[in-house]
Amino acid sequence: MKQLISRLPHIGTTIFSRMSSLAAQHGAVNLGQGFPDFACDPKLIDQVTIAMREGYNQYPTGMGALELRQAIVDKIQRIYGHRYDVNAEVTVTPGATEALTTAILCSVHPGDEVIVIEPAYDSYLPAIELAGGVPVLVQMQLDAHGGFSVPWARVEAAVTPRTRMIIINTPHNPTGSVLRAADMAALGDIVRDTDILILSDEVYEHMVYDGQRHESMCRYPELAERSFVVSSFGKTYHVTGWKVGYVAAPAMMTLEFRKIHQYNVFSVNTPMQHGIASYMEDPAPYTGLPAFYQRKRDLFRKGLEGSRFELLPADGTYFQCVRYDRISAQSEAQFAEWLTSEIKVAAIPVSAFYRDGKDSGIVRFCFAKKDETLALALERLARV
C-alpha cells in the first residue's frame, strides 16, 4: 500500500495531551491542560436531562436549535449592545475549535495571508495550512512588569495586499492578557477601508478581572461587520467535555461558514443545546464568573508569593504565567517536564504556543481547579 502523504507533516501530538499523559504517569497535580476539575451546576445537567426526556434526541438544524440561537442573540445584545439576526448570523458549533477552523476554511484561499499574534492557541496555524493560507506571525511584546501586549505598529506593518484575515484572541491564551479600548481603536484603524476579515477568539469572554470589561468585537460596529466572533459554553459553564460553542458573524460571512460547517459536522448534540438554552434564562452563572475565577486567581497568586516564581499579570482567562529563571536555566519544555515528574505539578511551556518554539523562561498554570487541588499544588510548588 502506498504511504499516505500527510497534510500536516510537522504536526504531532499536542503539548496538552503530552503533559496530561506525563501528569497521569507521575501522579502530578495537572495544572497544565485548561479544564476545571470541579462539577458544573447540577441545574444545567437537570436541564439537559429534561430535554432528553422531552424527546429532543434527533438531529437539530445544522445552524443550531432555534432556542439556543435566540438565547445567544439575546445575551450578546444585553452585554455588548449588538443585535445579530437569529436565523442568518448565529451558528452553534461542536466547541470553539471547530468554529475557528471552519471560519478559516471558509474564507482563506491558497496564497492568502493570515496575521497571527503569538504566542497563539495551537489550532490556528494547522487550520491556515489546511486552507492553503500563509501565516504571518507577529509576536506580542513584554513590558517592564512582564505584561504581554499587542504591538499594533508591527501588526500594521505586516499587512499586505494579500492579507485576508487577522486572528485576535481576548482574553488571551496563554498569557492571560486582555485587549482594551485603545487596542480595539488601533485594530479599527488597521482594517478600515480594507477587505480584511477578523477572527475573534473570545472563549474566555466572561473571565476578565479587577473590574475591567471584555472588549468584544461585538461592541464595535465597524469591527463586528467584518468579524467571526467565537465563544464556548464549555468554558463558561465548566463543561469542556460537552464541546458546544458558537460563532456570530454577518449574514454573508455566516452563509459561507455554514457551507463548510454542514459537511464537516452538520449539527451539534441536540439535548445539550436545549438544556443550555433553558439554563441561559438565568444570566447569573456567567455574570458571576469574573468574581468566581478572580477569587481562584488571587488564591493561587497569594500561594506563590514569596516563592522563587515570578508572577506575570493575569487579567483574564483562567491561566497564570510565571517566570522561573530564579529556579532553573532549563528550557521551558525541560522545566515543565521536570516540574511534572519531580515536583508533581504539571504546567505548560509557553514556547509551545510559538511556531519557532521561542523560549522566554515562562510556563503557564491553570487555576480552574478546586481549592483543595490548588492548595496541594501550591504546597508542592513552595518546595521549588
Q: List the domains of the chain with CATH numbers.
A: 15-40+287-381 (3.90.1150.10), 43-282 (3.40.640.10)
Residue with cell 492553503: 132
Q: What is the pLDDT of residue 16?
A: 85
Q: Which residues, at least 6 apart from 100, have a Cβ–Cβ distance to it below 8 Å?
A: 121, 123, 124, 127, 199, 201, 230
Cβ-contact 321, 362 below 8 angstroms: yes
CA distance 227 to 319: 25
Q: In the structure grid, which three cell numbers stand for residue 147, read together? A: 505584561
* Cell digits of residue 119: 504566542
Distances (CA, A) of 174 to 92, 140, 180, 332: 25, 12, 17, 14
Residue 197: beta bridge partners?
165
Report d(CA 174, CA 349) in Å as an integer: 10
φ/ψ of 248, rounded to 5, equals: -115, 135
| Residue type (1 letter), 89 | E
Q: What is the dihedral of CA 280, 283, 284, 290, to 10 degrees?
A: 110
Low-confidence ranges of the chain (pLDDT < 70): 1
What does the pLDDT read at residue 1? Answer: 67
pLDDT, residue 146, reads 75
pLDDT of residue 287: 97
- What is the distance between the alpha carbons of residues 378 and 70, in angstroms, rounded to a whole number? 43
What global pTM score does this model have? Answer: 0.96
Three-state DSSP class for 223?
helix
Burial of 33 (0-12, 13-18, 19+ CB in 10 A): middle
CA 41 to chain centre: 22
What is the Cα–Cα distance from 348 to 362, expressed in whole angstroms? 9
- Supply the pLDDT for residue 145: 72
Asked whether the CA dihedral 278, 282, 283, 286 is positive or negative, the reply is negative
Give the position of cell 508572577: 311
The whole-number pLDDT of residue 87 equals 98
